[in-house]
Amino acid sequence: MEINTPQTNIPTATNTTPPPTTNSTTPGMSPIVPVGAKIIAVLFYIVSIFLIAGGIMLFALSSTGAQFLGNFGVTAGVVPGILDVLWGILSFFAGRGLWTGQKWGKLLAVTISALYIIFGVITIFTLGSTSYISLIINIVIILYLLLNKNIHTALASTKPLGKAILLPILAIIVYAGMEFANLMPKQTAIYQVNQMANQLEQNQNPTVVAPATPQLATPPAAIATSATNGISNGIYTNTNYGFQISVPDGTTYFEDTQSTPKYSLMFDNPQNQSILGFTISPATGDLPSMINEEYSTTPPQQETTTTIAGKQAIHASITADGGTFDAYFLIYNGNFYEIGQGRAITSTQLGTFVQTLKFTK
């Protein structure tokens, strides 16, 4: 007799729990932070040390000298010193947050690097230079923190941002203050240097004319002019050297009184074209020797003797400054006069113009 015993299917236990991944985290456990993020954290630690130490030193030195420097010492050192210390503390927090695998640490680090990049680009356009190495490093940091999947996985189970959003906002405020305190004095200094350079160039080269074009750049009505010189009713009077000369209506002039012992004077017509130039220097010999001394490398051509204002003069053709022009030379009252043709008039017009010259002393 066959006895059929009932068969029961007993399920066997299977392990359905997936193996833990390298970057996953378990609630209550610290996240596994990628090596790249820890390297970035170390960089932030190093930067914070230098910022805090430098800020304290700047604050101490400026505070000590404030009694001598006044408000300048406060704005140039005390305030930037405090801001440097605050920025160093924020950089330390960024490093700490990345090292411990916190979302707010990543956000703060990205914010700080983004600020470096933004103001680095601004500095390029305002000052013409910046720290390109720092710019590249911060671009790499942002790309790594935002695009690396391991970072996202490691920080996925950490606490939400919450109040930590205040740290990036504080970073923006502090860094904006730092850059404003540093950038404005630099811009002011550069502007002042450029102004001084432009003024010096004008004083040294007031009569420079480009050889390739007859059109002059628009000059001011008078540069370094003496109070005793001026144009009135179509007559220019120079009491320093004692002469007068007629000029067309609307003529302006400018002088170079800095290149002693020489003195230069240039007249411009209303179209800003040079019509006459005077060069006066102490006479050290007779008229022919003075002319040869002035143009030792390119002797004048077609010299003719004439008379101007009752004084013996020489009319000659001169080759200089890339072109050929007429000039009159004479000696009066111990000074050697060279009266040169401007680029906008003919030799005949120049002769008519020069014949109005009168000496007053």
List of domains in the chain: 35-201 (no CATH), 229-359 (3.40.1000.10)
Q: Residue 158 gets which letter from DSSP? A: S
Q: Which two tokens stand for residue 138?
A: 């911060």
Place of tokens 């010999």: 285
The predicted-structure confidence for 252-283, as pLDDT tens digits, reads as follows: 887 877 777 788 888 887 666 667 888 888 88
Strand partners, 152: none
pLDDT in tens, 309-338: 888 898 888 877 667 778 899 999 888 998
Beta strands in the chain (DSSP E): 229-232, 235-238, 243-246, 252-256, 263-268, 274-282, 301-308, 311-320, 323-332, 335-341, 358-359
State the CB neighbour count (10 A cutoff) for residue 302.
Answer: 9
Residue 227 confidence (pLDDT): 39
How confident is residue 65, by pLDDT bands cut at 50, 70 and 90? low
In terms of Cα–Cα distance, which of 320, 321, 323, 315 is closest to 347?
315
Torsion of CA 234, 239, 244, 246, to 10 degrees: -20
User: pTM of the full predicted structure?
Assistant: 0.41
Q: Is 230's pLDDT higher than 60?
A: yes
Residue 225 has pLDDT above 50, yes or no: no
